[in-house]
Amino acid sequence: RDPGCGCCLNWAGHVEDGMNTKVASVDSKDMAAIKTARGVPEELWSCHTMEVDGYIIEGHVPAEAVDQLLRERPAGVAGLAVPGMPLGSPGMEAGDRIQPYEVIAFGPTGQSVFASYR
């Protein structure tokens, strides 16, 4: 995560609670290099990147979507992403304000919508 970003820690707390696990937070001043090295398409970039069990999780992906990915292990999927920082996504809560957003699956065969939140 970028050391100046607080929402990343909020998201990590959401994942820890939602998946009953611990998240190790590692600060980096060159997040672009991390995302590029892990194959995250630039149009899907957000503020933090997580590696879990061979998958890349980019941005404010809900814990339930990560859990589903780890259970189902769909062919051709390298990871999940929520591009940008939509209001109402985990770690970006703002009262009752919610921006609709999609969780995008990405991999060597392209991108597809994995889940939608409204």
Closest to 107 measured CA to CA, from 67, 70, 79: 79
Is residue 80 in some structural domain?
A: yes
Is residue 52 in some structural domain?
A: yes
CB 80 within 8 A of CB 55: yes
Is residue 1 in some structural domain?
A: no
Let me know if 90 is exposed, middle or buried by CB neighbors in 10 A (0-12, 13-18, 19+). buried
Is residue 72 in some structural domain?
A: yes
Give the pTM: 0.94
Distance (Å, whole) CA 3 – CA 33: 15
User: How does pLDDT run along the chain (118 residues), one tens digit per residue?
Assistant: 988 888 999 999 999 999 999 999 999 999 999 999 999 999 999 999 999 999 999 999 999 999 999 999 999 999 999 999 999 999 999 888 889 999 999 999 999 999 999 8
Domain count of the fold of the chain: 1
Range of the domain at 11: 7-117
